[in-house]
Structure 1
Amino acid sequence: MAAGAGGADGCDEIVACPARRRAAQEAAKRERRRRRGGPLVVVSRLVGELFITVGLVMLLFVTYQLWYTNVLAEREASGAAGSLRQDWDAGGAAAPPVAAFEPGQGFAILYIPKLDVKVPVAEGISKPKVLDRGMVGHYAEGALKTAMPADRSGNFAVAGHRNTHGEPFRFINRLAPGDPIVVETRDAYYTYEMTSILPQTPPTNVSVLKPVPDGSGFTAPGRYITLTTCTPEFTSTYRMIVWGRMVDERPRSSGAPPALEG
């Protein structure tokens, strides 16, 4: 066969085969680009995938905040309340006096029967040590220090989350005058009756924590309780305040007050 004649692979000339292969490769590349689309299509696909990923992350975060923090906090608060009662029943006489409570230490249980709330009360209003653990915090530091339930006069003031982390005070806006609020300690039950509510006030308004709280309607020293929480819901812009007056005190040995029966 003469040089340059067609071979068994069908090439008419030896130099033609690489050219055909290159042409086929270029054609394949063009087809892949056509399937992928142009640069704008590729970018739009990447942006879309990014939005989907960000959306999934945000959904997981919201689920964690609105649901799972409640699960964790309620579990921890329930355990803390149970431990308190076990300690009291096993020999509360050995428990430290009020002055010995450390920040974050539980010392009481707060009940709001109308709202089906039962939550431990701990010293201080630290978010990581108290509030985010599903507990209610007693204002007990510096200029914000308030009375204890056993004090013969003063304002026992506490703070709690309205949303997430157990949200014990979510529905305190539903309380009405006369509704009972009960505080149980190692030694006694203290029953208060809700008297008034301040729907909204700035966080800087600490006068609501005074021994005779401003805006409460109380005009003379007494034994009061103040519940504080954030408002509107899912924000911390303002504070909602609920006040009550003590109407009954009884030793734990006498049993639970009528407000907790049934």
Structure 2
Amino acid sequence: MHWEGQGSSSGPASPGDVVGWIEIPRIGLSAPVVEMANVDDRENLNKGPAHLMGTAYPGEEGNCVIAGHRTTYSRPFFRLDELSEGDAVVLTGRGGSKHTYLVRWKRIVDPDEVWVMEKTGGVVLTMIACHPLFSARKRLVVRAEAVKGTDAVE
């Protein structure tokens, strides 16, 4: 099953479309996710958590990449650094399909370390934000893996 933003009855997702919802109970995040054309699409990234077009959608094999600001605009990923291994992230598509992921690791990388956005084996989620707070010097990356048995994940 595809995340409903990709090819639902309302048509394919375009940059700026709300394509789902992200919930991270540990840090109190519950927010819509918009489609982002590419890593330079600041207009849509500034709206809140943004799914990187061309990456996997929740429940699909591969790497679902979602970026968000930590200190500007709605600062959805302000507390992303507080996540620990085993914390849950729930993504819901427009059609209501829910996919639960569990955090596996977090790292600080340089902005040019784009390997974190590359296609992966398995059903994974990669969340990215600038680091440290009030700086774009590095990137905070949190990787999570889908829990089998949640909707399309088998």
TM-score range, shorter chain: 0.7 to 0.9
In 1, distance between residues paired with 2:17 and 2:151? 23
Where in structure 2 are there 5+ consecutive unaligned residues? 1-7
Tell me whether 1:160 sits opposite 2:68 in the alignment: yes
**Pair 1:138 & 2:51 matched:** yes
- Which runs of no fewer than 5 residues in structure 1 stay unpaired? 1-92, 213-220, 252-262
Q: TM-score, normalised by structure 2?
A: 0.85
Output the CA distance in 1 between the equivalents of 2:25 and 2:68. Answer: 16
Instruction: Indicate the residue corresponding to 2:29 in structure 1.
Output: 117
Q: TM-score, normalised by structure 1?
A: 0.51
Match of 1:107 in 2: 19
1:206 aligns with: 114
Q: Deviations over 1:10-59 (max 9, x none)?
A: xxxxxxxxxxxxxxxxxxxxxxxxxxxxxxxxxxxxxxxxxxxxxxxxxx
Which residue among 15, 21, 42 is the counterpart of 1:127?
42
The answer (yes or no) to whether the contact 1:107–1:123 under 8 Å persists in 2 is yes
Distance 1:172 1:150 in 2: 22
Residue of structure 2 equivalent to 1:147? 56
- 2:151 maps to what in 1? 250
Alignment check: 8 A CA contact 1:131 1:165 kept: no
User: Larger Cα Rg: Structure 1 or Structure 2?
Assistant: 1
Equivalent in 80, 83, 86 of residue 178 of structure 1? 86
Structure 1 segments of 4+ aligned residues over 4 angstroms from their partners: none
**For the Cα contact (< 8 Å) 2:59–2:151, is it kept in 1?**
no
Task: Report if the CA contact (8 A) 2:15-2:35 is conserved.
Answer: yes
The structure with the greater share of residues assigned to helix is 1
Partner of 1:49: none
Instruction: Look up the equivalent residue of 1:239 and give its one-letter code.
Output: R
CA distance in 2, matches of 1:159, 1:190: 18
Secondary structure at the aligned position of 2:46 is classed as helix
Partner Cα distance (1:228, 1:179) in 2: 16
AA aligned to 1:209 is M
Query: For 1:2-81, what aligned pairs fall within 5 Å after superposition?
Result: none
SS in 2 for 1:103: coil
Q: Which has the higher strand share?
A: 2
Output the amino acid matched with 2:42. Answer: K
